[in-house]
Amino acid sequence: MSAEQQTNTKGIDKFLNGIERVGNKLPDPAIIFLIAMITIWVLSAILSQVTFTSLDPRTGDAIVVNNLLTLEAFAQFLSSMVKTFTGFAPLGVVLVAMLGVGMAENSGYINTALKLMLKRTPKVLLTPCVILIAIISHTAVDAGYVLVIPLAGVIFFAMGRHPLVGIAAAFAGVSGGFSANFIPSGIDPLLQSFTQSAAHIIDPDLAINPLNNWFFTSASTLFIVLVGWYITDKIIEPRLKDVKIDGDTEDLPSFDEIGAQERKSFYVASTVMLVGIALLVAATVGEESAFRGTNGSLTDFSAPLMQSIVPLIFLLFWVPGIVYGFMVGTFTSTKDMVQAMTKSMNGMAYYIVMAFFCALFISAFGKSNLGALLAIEGAEVLKALALPSSITIIGIIILTGFVNLFVGSSSAKWALLGPIFVPMLMQLGISPDLTQAAYRVGDSSSNIITPLMPYFPLVVVYCQKYVKDTGIGTLIALMIPYSIVFLIGWTLFLLAYWGLGFPLGLQASYVYPG
């Protein structure tokens, strides 16, 4: 490494070390959510007295902030607290999936699978393979958060690399590369539905293909893999080389030689899994399949198959785990099975506490309407600036990234921003497809640096398995290089892709006739 490169690296390290120090001085994530919730209450009381002229695109009425400090609002808060917590979507996703994964892990099935896989994976290609798998996991909704990210830490540890490097790479692929995937997923038609509704404000006859960004998201897959590979190996791994792994070594995987019985048990258990997958595939064949949505689609969010992803993850790990455990001798009774699942839940206690306060905060933020106010007012300011087309696209990306720090749901943000951005840019001759693509870039790039994202505390828990004092600042410092490079690089990639005339999706670009 040259002297100039060393200076640059030290400069980056100083910046990230500063971020880490400041971040780790913040209160525990659970307390941050509590403080944020109280702040929302106070702001809602203040801003509820202000009259806003901007229209809420969901209702057509002027945006109104709801006061959460009234006696009625507090009574509603208390009466719905339990339901708010138990209805918190990420909580059920994580716990159900971890019950199945815990069975497979504690039986030894996953350990043996990793041993066999690592023998066939060149070490130099480990990082891009992990990022690619993380990106593909979007097809299975939130499977990447509960499956790919923790397994990436295990795999990197087994390969003699720092496990936090693997977790960071997988998190970057799952969350930072959320809009990069060559396999269509439920998010595509969901966003398209909002885009088409917004486009009808200008052109009521315009039909937008559900895969209106598919070519771009497919091309983005290669971009995210290559850029993520470079950041992981050249920035993140050197930064973590001196960070000591001080987790409980008894809970970390051991990778000795595979015995004959282990190998036989693994192949039998895997065959059971494949048979289960084959039966599932057979059950989805035909338009009348019970797993399809009302429109015959398998990938629509309303389709029973998409609603069953987490239970399927549970079964596809739980059953092979049981088969492997009894064949290899890890399990000798049903009590061992229950203990294996109980052990997997022990590590979730901290996350459950954080999820409680996170659920209350997100509920308060939604009820106050402050998220809608932030998105709409920001969009109106950008609209009033009347900037050139390419600069406006950059503005959309930056504004989306900023709003994403406070409003996590991709579809909820687009429901607010789409009706403003899409008609505005259509009148500039910019297709709704391009506007939606710009939104997706901004949304994905900032996912990995906001502790208010529901799965962010869970990733902190994954890291603490290996490095006990991992805090919010540690994870943010690891993810900032990905976020910055993704934001800048992906924006330039989109502008170049558009400028060269490449198609965004499965239809011709829209040209405003006015």
pTM over 0.75: no
Model confidence pLDDT, tens digit, residues 204-260: 777 787 778 889 999 999 999 999 999 999 999 998 988 888 876 566 655 567 788
Kindly provide the b/e burial profile for residues 180-218, where b requires at least 16 CB atoms within 10 angstroms of the residue's own CB.
bbbbbbbbbbbbbbbbbebbbbbeeeeebbbbbbbbbbb
For residues 414 and 439, is the Cβ–Cβ distance under 8 A? yes
Residue 437, C-beta contacts closer than 8 angstroms, at least 6 positions apart: 213, 216, 494, 504
pLDDT above 90 covers what percent of the chain?
A: 27
Kindly provide the b/e burial profile for residues 12-41, where b requires at least 16 CB atoms within 10 angstroms of the residue's own CB.
eeeebeebbeebbeeebbbebbbebbeebb
For residues 465 and 247, is the Cβ–Cβ distance under 8 A? yes
CA dist 477 and 479 (Å) reads: 6
Which residue reads 């455990």 in tokens? 325
Facing residues of 62 across strands? 55
Name the least confident of 185-189, 311-315, 343-347.
185-189
Model confidence pLDDT, tens digit, residues 420-474: 788 888 877 788 899 999 999 999 998 888 776 778 888 988 898 898 888 888 8
Count other C-beta atoms under 10 Å from residue 71's C-beta: 7
Tokens of 413: 């943000």
For residues 227 and 488, is the Cβ–Cβ distance under 8 A? no
Tokens of 468: 């006990």
Model confidence pLDDT, tens digit, residues 326-339: 999 999 999 999 99
Model confidence pLDDT, tens digit, residues 80-128: 999 999 988 778 877 887 788 788 878 888 778 767 766 677 778 899 9
Tokens of 356: 């409680």
CA dist 482 and 72 (Å) reads: 44
Which residue reads 């192949």 in tokens? 267
User: At 173, is the pLDDT very low, low, confident or very high (cuts 50, 70, 90)?
Assistant: very high
Tokens of 363: 């509920």
